[in-house]
Structure 1
């Protein structure tokens, strides 16, 4: 019986170790499903090379759209939102010539995907001449190819927090190299989903790359959309199941609004004092929201009628104060 050399993966004390061995040819699907069971995930996917793994912790419909050596593109469908967010996971080659295939894959996906799209992870090349520690000088051609691909696909990089470097070569002294090889990008439709997105560079443990944690900001619009969808379904079919689904969505929205209220109270009370004088996007948004809430859209005149136009409101305000002044005299 012919035997092939395979890379075996062992999980010991929460860390992943790899060892070479000789064993009968076994499908890589067995390994990923084994880890899926250990991690109690709902589903798991891997690309054709077996080097990109994706675990899904919620039970949703996920379709594999594109599977190549350097990327895996999935299409999860979120039933509550009735929306799709394409997700492309990248593990690029170290060689410049081999990465050309990845840039071609990205451009093909860009011409195919019209909905929300997130792409990122290990591109194995820096995006610009940003500060790095150690290593050989950056080759302009490598940077230009990456930058051209990002611009051609009209992608926006998600801002990050944490260490400015995501990769370390594991050495010290003069041989030490720190670079930022891992990034996350989104297209315009996905930017409309959330008010803010942020990537956090977590601590490197068990790998020379830092894990990327993507978090979102306010999602109150999506919560409202869920309730509206459930309301529409209940109106079309007022069954006990749809009624229960609507009540659950309303409860979740009330819970979210409760937490949001406390969050903004804390923001206004503490952060405004600490950071209110800074020229930040967050506080500009807060000011705009306050101004919007303070706008007068209609008033009741002295005769009890409601008026809404700006000219009528202005005239009524002037008349009110003029009459008040005459009464004092």
Structure 2
């Protein structure tokens, strides 16, 4: 973590002289060869500025945090996980064998929507059941009722936290205002983000930007095919 004085993408710089592609490619290859992953950044995207008072200052993202996959597995921080998720994506991707990229993505989208609906239904059902159990065991003079009430309360707290983290990950918002839980807020943010999501360009292995749909499909297909091949190994 710190100032690497280099960039992983042309988007890491705004204004001034364009960063040479060979410099970007060299740093990117060094990061990949080291088995590191660039952690996402929140807030203003640039960490260094030259000519701050100028009309068009030069801004760059030189500071970043990198981590290995093993570290990410140890410290997932607000990362919602479901063991069945990888299976859902893998099954959907391989459902039609050598189908076109857009068909594979469509299959994944549809199956993930079904999985998400099933998960949300599970949250709703569990919350209702735990609250009912708490209501049925409010007799503080009965030791058995006290124990059941406490167990139900702990389970309710856990599932509420899981539901909150689910919507937080979907909304890409990784903070809680004043520590308050606000699942409806994250739900609304996720829905708004889904409506405006679109891809306008992709970068190939040489660092060149591709804007046409055919080129982007080829890049994405190659990436996902390689990803699932690595997963099989």
Shorter-chain-normalised TM-score: which range? 0.3 to 0.5
Higher RCO (CA 8 Å, separation ≥ 6 residues): 2
The higher radius of gyration belongs to 1
